[in-house]
Every structure is written in structure tokens, then in C-alpha cells.
Chains A and B, each alone.
Chain A
Amino acid sequence: MTTNDHTGFDPAAAADVATTAILADLADAANRAVVVDSPPGAGKSTLVVRAAGDLVEGDERPIIVAQTNNQVDDLVVRLAEAHPDITIGRLSASSYTTPPTVDALANTIVATRVADLAGCRIVVGTSAKWATVRDETFGWAILDESYQMRSDMLLQIVERFDRGLFVGDPGQLDPFTVVGTERWIGLPHDPTQNGVTVMLEHNPGTPVHRLPVSWRLPTTAAPTVARAFYPFAGFNAGIGEGVRALEFRSAGFGSSVLDETLAMAFATGWALHELPRRHVPRTDSETIQATADLAVRLLDRGAIATCERHRDGRVLDAGDIAIGVAHRDQADLVRAALARTGRPYAGQVAVDTANRLQGREFEVVIVVHPLSGRRDATAFHLEAGRLCVLTSRHRQACIVVAREGITDLLDSHPSTDAVHLSVPAKFPDGWEANQVVLAKLARHRVAA
């Protein structure tokens, strides 16, 4: 297992070596595809921006495929800033409203048709939008978050390009379908699989790279996240110990259990805010309220975050905080609970499901544990990717809110996963990953 406590590891150099190798493979005409696996916060977007620039310099006109409009907009902003002399095309659906950040860019054109972006050296759009484009082909495509793109979606866009750079995080949530069928299990072209896996099945010689350093996760989190969710590949934290820190601007008035949890998280990077044992529906108001209260308490007291970007510290605002949950109704209820506090910033806290938090980054993340209060663990609630997303979005600290009893739930969990012929078992295993995270959290427990 890789950790960053062995001396002599130079994260910047390691990341450089990886990037150089990736760009070399990109320049090698023998490669039809290049895959880059990126653990959380390993500089995936930076790589995409750089690779796009390299391709343009090599006289290519690459397209970039991302999975959501937010991802596309973020990439457009970064590309426009990194390559001010290039015009970036933003391909969009007719219902799309350009956000101010994109609107403000001088070197960006937004259009609904590729033909209207003829002057653009890089064209960016969602996979859904690219699926509607006909007849135009490009030399290279960079497919971002490609582990979240289903293979049948790849099939709709693959005729638009000759070669592909597939970038993504294999540890996050797999794509899924609501249609329950075992019809395609074991097929190399299973349409419910992610696009990368299917492409690799058919192109076994494809170079697969791995970004070795997480610049997002603090030293407190990287080893646990690596061990739980990336048991074979591993990665290191890029930022050394002592660089990141959280402290309160004001002392706690009275000592509430909320303050205790926050103090634990600020001091150690993790906290388990454990509510009394009880079987509850997932909409349990006590759990929902606790997450909202923790966020509000943190912001009210004022937290100063020190990091490599802000060496003198910076006061966190609501946009630095996220609350992550498993289900949409939980997110709705957390938002309602935040709104009830009447704080003007309530709407600024990002509250969303693991699915929608994929690829995003915050300073502090508060998580409702997917197994909290449950009688049984379903495959959905045990899924490693879900917990991985939730516990790997933070730069400073992660607070998990849960009802006591998850240990027993896991201990007595009946094993009912289907077993299929000639299909490799999926790793990391959700049960094992949950155990690793729970063992870590046990040392950061605050009884609420």
C-alpha cells in the first residue's frame, strides 16, 4: 500500500513523469486509444486542458466529451484561460443557458450546431449533445469522466472521432440501468458497462496510465481512501503534512456535541458524528437535521482554512461546504433543513447525492452514511463507488453522520450477490471498503 509517509517521495516529480508518459503516448500514432485512470483530485482536468493544448499544437482539432453541463462549463473556463490564443467552442443544447462564467470569456463561442463552431480549435460538449451530431468527424476526442459514460453512449458518439483519450476515475460510481436484465452479462460489449471497460476489452493493447498523486485529499484522508477504494493501484497525497489546517475564528460558546464533532474533524481531518442506534427510514429527520446543523455551526463560528493556495488562511464560506447523501429525497430534506435555519448562505451549501457530487471538490464535506439506520444493506447502499465519492470530495475534512449500528449491520450482512460465469468479481468489494472506512472512523467517533 502506498502512503506518503515514506520520505524521498516527490509528488510533483511523480505526477510529471506520469503526465509526460501520457502525452508521449498521445503523440504516438500507433495508439488508437489512451486511458488515464485518475484517483480523486489527481489533476484530471489539468491533464485534459494540457492534452487538448498539445493536440492543437500538433495540428489536431480535438473535441472534448464530458458527461454533464457543469463539467463542460468548468472545462471551457479552464481551457479558455489556459489557452487564451485559441478559440474554444461550447456545443450546447437549445435549452442551455450560458452561465456568467462562460459568458464572460472572450475566446469562447457557444452554439447548438458544430457547423457554427468552424473557427474553434477545440469543441466541448456533453456526450448527450455529441450523440446528436451527424456526419462530422474529428481526429481526437478527449472523453472526460469516461468511467461514468455507459458503453451504449460511447457507441453513439464514437463515429465522431478516430482516436480517443479516455480519462476518468475508476473508483467512483458505475453507470447503471433501471432495466433489470442479465441478458448481457459476460459480453465484452455489455451496453450497461462503462465505456472504458468495453473499449479496453476490444483493444487490449491500449496503454493505461494512472495519475499517482491526489492533490485534493489531505494526508489524513489519502491512505484510507486509497486502501478502501483503490486497493490495487493506490496513490499518494500530493500535499505534505502540516500544510492544510482548519481552525475556528471564534471559540465555541458552550460546548455542544456539534462543536465536539467539528473540533474532531478540524484536528484530525475526520469525524464520525454518531447518533443513537435506531432503525429509521432514510428520511430520518434527526440525521438530516444533524448534517444541516453541523454545516451551519461550522459557518457561524467561522472556519479559517490554511492550505498551499492560502498560506495565511482564508475564511470558509458556504460554497466551500458540501453535504453528500445517497438518495435524492434526503438531499431535498437537507436543503429544506438548511433553509429553515434562515441563514442567508443556506442556499449556497452544495447538497447533493453521490451521483451528482462526482468530480466535484470542496473544503469540508458532511456525509450521511448510506448505511445509517438501515435494517439491511442492499447492493445500492453497500456500493464502494458511492462511499468513495462521498469520502473523497474534501480538501480539509470529512464528517460522517450515522446512526450507531453499522458495524453490526456489516457483521451480519447476508451475502446474496449474484455469481456469474467468466465474469471477474468486481473490486473493491463494497463490504470490505465499508469496513476499512468504518475502522478509520471508529477512531474519530463522537457520540451525539
Chain B
Amino acid sequence: MIATPDQRLDALRGPAPRMHHNARTLAALENNPRCMLRAVLDASGSDKAAIAAHTGYQAPFGQSSFALARGNVFETMVKANGCAELLRVLRETLQLTLPEVGYQDLNDVGGDGRAESRHARTTHLLTAAARGHGSDTLYDHPMLRLVVGGHPVFLEPDLVAFRVDDRFHVVEIKSFPIVDDQAAPAQVRAATTHACAYIIALRAMLAASGIGPESVSDTIVLIAPKDFTNRPTGAFVDARKQVATLTRQLERIQRIGDLVELLPEGLTFDLAADDTGRPQRPAQELAEALDQVPATYYPECLNHCEMAFYCRSRARADGSLDVLGSAVREQLGGVDTVTMALGLARGTLTPNDDQVEMAVALRHAARLRVELHNSPGAAGAAS
């Protein structure tokens, strides 16, 4: 019997519980769509951090308790007194005309904090609002649901505002500052991609009731501290491009079955955890399994992927030019390894038909390097 893609994916993960996507991991989809290893690990719900750690390359990602505390304090402050500060920013800073405000806390449903119940209530309230029933305008921590690769993912935006231009707007409350109307681009980008997941999920939820995508705005409202103070300010972020990008990446996930079919039978990343959760699988065997799936390593992966240090060690061991980054690679066309590049440059390797041209250019560059090494007073730097 031939296994279905879902069965194959479950087998890849092993008996460990499935790791679910969240806004952060969905946003990470656009970082490196070419990487098959990442796609397969994500689709199978494998625990990348645990896998990386077991191979000896623990991901160094951690969050400072200061940052967490600051984020929570700021969000609480913005939402205090029925979102008084938030409303001030929406009305004064962003000059939005909001009707009288009804605030709806969706953090739990009468003490029931389960995602399913919260999602049901969110669906009920937001759908009604979209149809013109109900007087709420601010929805605190609604619970959204998005089906990613056949699996439901629950997503929880900070806040959704309605009746801002008669549309739903995702409101992101972040604790990085907006200084003189500018904020750190990397952080704005991260906030935006998270918000895009919410926009897509909101649209999917409303679409189920026949409500069109135009009911959810592509513009995100970002609330953040102003300058070096604790006082919130706001800005609009045009997320049209990121929404389109993330939509594309979600569509790509649907095609994971094609990738999985290419993998060898019996392949698994199961850590064979014992009763205490400690992995028992020999690390070498795990590494061999990982090596069956091609990874696409870029130095930028170090910023966001749990597997990056593992992949870098492989790239280094292979002498892959990926280690050096795209600026260097750009110069070397189809040549993949340092051995090959230097062999062609020094004339110790004979180029194949595809490499003749590159070999000529590299030999010229190598001759210039030799000329420099031999020139008087040369290479003071490294000696």
C-alpha cells in the first residue's frame, strides 16, 4: 500500500506530538522558500529546535526577560481603561473617525480558554459585525484559525479593530519605539508579516460566511512607544505586498506532497525519545537522515532558522560557497565549492564546457592576486 503524503509526514516526525505553526513560523516561510529541509521539517510538524540540539548544533535563539516584560507592560498599558490610550492614538495621531466604542475581550469565553471555544466566539462576533449586527469596535485577542497544509493553526492577534473605514483592521501592539516617525525596518517587517497571517486568517474566516476579502484592510495599524517614552503612538503599514507574498507561500505548502514523494522510503527524524523525553536515537544516525533532504543554506538563515548552525556545519564541511554569502557567490556563477573555484583559478582543474568562461576570469583574478602578493610592501595586512 502506498502511504499518503500525510502518513509520510507523520512518519517523518515519528511519535512525537506535532509542532503547530504560529504567526512567527508562518512569517518565517518567506525567508527561504527554496529550502527543502525546512519545508519538510515544518510540514511534518517536527521539532526543529530539538533536532538541531540533538545533532550538537543547538539554536542560540532566546528572548531576554526584559524584552518580554517590556512587551507585556506596554500592551497592558495601551489596553488599560477600555483601550483609552489606543483610542487616543487612533483618533489623534492617526486621525481616524471612530464611532462610539464597544470593547470585546475575547481572551476567554466565560472562563473557557480553549482555542476552539474562543475561535467559535470570535467567528460568531466578527461575522455578525461584518453583517452590520453588533456594536463592538475593538476585539481584544480574538482567536483565528487558518488551515495550513491540511492542519488547523490557531492565531491570536493583539487586537482587531472594526469600523475603521468600515473595515476590519489588524492592530499590532509592539514595544519597539517609533522614533521621529521611523522604526527599525527589521522589526517593522516582522510585525507586518505576523499581521499578514492574521489578515489571511480573518479573510478565510469571513469567506466561509460569504463575506468578501475587502472587509479586511491590507493596512495594518502599528501601535508602539513614541520616541524614548512609554507613551504610545501609531503608524499605518501598507501590507499589500506581504499579504500577497505570504498567500503565495501558503499555496506552496499545499504542494509539499510532491516533495515528500522524492524522499527515500522509511526516512524519519524521530528522536526516539524515552519516557523522560530524552532522545535515544544515535546523533550520527539522525544526521544521516537529515542529509537525505537537500537544504539550502544562506548565512541569513543564522538569523531565523533553528537548523542553521547544523546546515552551516554541512556547508563548511563540503567547502560550499554558500558559506560566504551571496555577494561572493555572485562572482562565481555555477561554481559551487571552494575546491572547484580555486582549482579553476590555479589551473589545477580542467574546466568542463560550462566552466570554461568562469575559469578564464578566475585565472585572471588569481594572476592579479599573485601579482599583488609579490609586489613590494605587499600584504602588510595579514602578516
Contacts and interface: CB of A to CB of B under 8 A. Distances in A.
A7 interface: no
A425 B238 contact: yes
Interface in A407-438: 411-425, 427, 429, 431-432
Interface residues of B, number: 37
A185 interface: yes
Nearest to A417: B241
B30 A186 contact: no
Contact of B333 (A281, A415, A422, A423): A281
B185 A182 contact: yes
Contacts of B361: 281, 283
B33 A414 contact: yes
A227 B242 CA distance: 20
A419 B237 contact: yes
B354 A278 contact: yes
A201 to B, nearest CB: 15
A421 B236 contact: yes
B328 to A, nearest CB: 12
Contacts of B178: 421
A68 interface: no
B331 A281 contact: yes
Nearest to B249: A415
Nearest to B181: A186
A285 B361 CA distance: 12
Contact of B33 (A182, A412, A425): A412
A412 B34 contact: yes
A182 B241 contact: no
Contacts of B331: 281
Contacts of A431: 245
Interface in B237-255: 237-242, 244-245, 252
A280 interface: yes
A278 B334 contact: yes
A412 B296 CA distance: 11
Interface in B180-195: 181-183, 185, 188-189, 192
B350 interface: no
B192 to A, nearest CB: 5
A317 B279 CA distance: 74
B333 A280 contact: yes
A323 B189 CA distance: 38
Given A280-B334, A415-B242, A420 B34 contact: no
A432 B334 contact: no
B333 A421 contact: no
A421 B32 contact: no
A53 to B, nearest CB: 42
Interface in B260-278: none
Interface string B346-377: 00000000100110010000000000000000
B181 A422 contact: yes
Nearest to B39: A412
A279 B334 contact: yes
Contact of B242 (A419, A422, A423, A424): A419
A375 B245 CA distance: 19
A279 B333 contact: yes
Nearest to A280: B333
A284 B30 contact: no
A414 B185 contact: no
A148 B152 CA distance: 48
B4 interface: no
Contacts of B237: 419-422
Contacts of A280: 333-334
A421 B34 contact: no
B329 interface: yes
Contact of B358 (A281, A412, A418): A281
A284 B236 contact: no
Specify which of B30, B182, B252 lies most central, judged by the most chain A CB atoms within 10 Å of its CB: B182
Contact of A421 (B235, B326, B354): B235
Contacts of B326: 375-376
B31 interface: yes
A419 B182 CA distance: 11
B222 interface: yes
Interface string A89-114: 00000000000000000000000000
B30 A414 contact: yes
Contact of A414 (B32, B182, B240): B32
A59 to B, nearest CB: 45
Contact of B182 (A182, A411, A427): A182
Contacts of B244: 429, 432
Given A283-B361, A284-B357, 12 more contacts: A284-B333, A376-B326, A412-B33, A414-B31, A414-B33, A414-B34, A418-B189, A419-B239, A420-B188, A425-B239, A425-B241, A431-B245
8 A-B pairs closest in CB distance = A412-B34, A421-B235, A279-B334, A281-B333, A415-B30, A418-B185, A415-B245, A419-B189
Interface of A: 182, 185-186, 278-281, 283-285, 373, 375-376, 411-425, 427, 429, 431-432
17 contacts: A185-B182, A186-B181, A278-B354, A281-B331, A375-B329, A411-B252, A412-B34, A414-B33, A417-B241, A418-B189, A419-B242, A420-B182, A420-B188, A420-B237, A421-B235, A425-B239, A429-B241
Interface of B: 30-34, 178, 181-183, 185, 188-189, 192, 222, 235-242, 244-245, 252, 300, 326, 329-334, 354, 357-358, 361
